[in-house]
Chains A and B, each alone.
Chain A
Amino acid sequence: MSRYTPPEQSKAGQVFDIVVVVVAIFVALWLPLKLGLAGAAKSIDALDAKTWEALGQNPTMAAIWEKLGYTPETAHDVIQNRFHYVIDWPTLIIMAAVLIGYFVFLFRASDREYRDVINEKFDDK
Chain B
Amino acid sequence: MTTTVLEPAIHGDRVSLLRVLGPAHVWALGVGIVLVGEFTGWNFSADKGGALAALIVCWIVGLLYTSVAMIDSEVTSTVAAAGGQYAQAKHIVGPLMAFNVALFLVFAYTMLEVSDAILLGDTIVAKAGVEGLTHNSFIAATIVVLAWLNYRGVLMTLNVNFVITAIAYVSIVILFFSVSPWTQGAVLKLNELVTPGNALPYGWIGVIAAFQFGIWYYLGIEGTTQAAEEVRSPARSLPYGTMAGMITLLIAAAMTWYVCASLMPWEYLGITYYPLWDAGKLTGSPLLENLLFIATLLAALASANGCINDAARAWFSLGRDRYLPSWFSAVHPKYRTPYRSILFLLPIALAFAFIADLNQAITFSILSGVLQYTFMSINIMMFRKKWPLGTIRRGYTHPFHPLPAIVLFCLCVVTFFAIFLGFGSQLIAMTIFYFLISLWFHFYRYKFVRRGDQFTMPWPKPQGY
Chain A: residues with CB nearer than 8 A to chain B?
A: 3-7, 9, 13-15, 17-18, 20-22, 24-33, 37-40, 56-58, 60-61, 64-65, 67-68, 75, 78-79, 82-83, 85, 87-88, 91-92, 94-95, 98-99, 101-103, 105-107, 109-122, 124
Contacts and interface: CB of A to CB of B under 8 A. Distances in A.
Secondary structure at chain B's binding surface: helix, strand, loop or mixed?
A: helix
B360 A38 contact: yes
B423 A38 contact: yes
B452 A109 contact: no
Given A57-B265, A91-B420, A118-B455, A9 B325 contact: yes
B434 A88 contact: no
A93 to B, nearest CB: 11
A83 to B, nearest CB: 6
Given A95-B420, A106-B97, A29 B322 contact: no
B461 A78 contact: no
Interface stretch (B65-73, B400-408, B435-443): B435-443
B159 interface: no
13 contacts: A29-B430, A30-B355, A32-B425, A39-B422, A40-B48, A61-B192, A64-B264, A68-B282, A83-B206, A83-B209, A83-B422, A111-B94, A121-B454
Contact of A68 (B97, B264, B327): B264
A7 B192 CA distance: 69
Contacts of B431: 95, 98-99, 102
Nearest to A61: B265
A7 B447 CA distance: 7
B181 to A, nearest CB: 18
A25 B348 contact: yes
B202 interface: yes
A117 B94 contact: yes
B435 A58 contact: no
B258 interface: no
A43 B437 CA distance: 36
Q: Most A CB atoms within 10 A — which of B202, B421, B446?
A: B421
A27 B195 CA distance: 45
Given A7-B448, A24-B436, A115-B465, A17 B278 contact: no
B296 interface: no
Contacts of A117: 94-95, 451-452, 454-455
A29 B96 CA distance: 21
Nearest to B185: A60
Contacts of A78: 267-268, 271
B462 A95 contact: no
A101 to B, nearest CB: 7
B423 A85 contact: no
A102 B429 CA distance: 12
A32 B416 CA distance: 18
A21 B322 contact: no
B428 A85 contact: no
A89 to B, nearest CB: 11
B265 A64 contact: yes
A103 B94 contact: no
Given A33-B356, A58-B192, A17 B325 contact: yes
A11 to B, nearest CB: 8
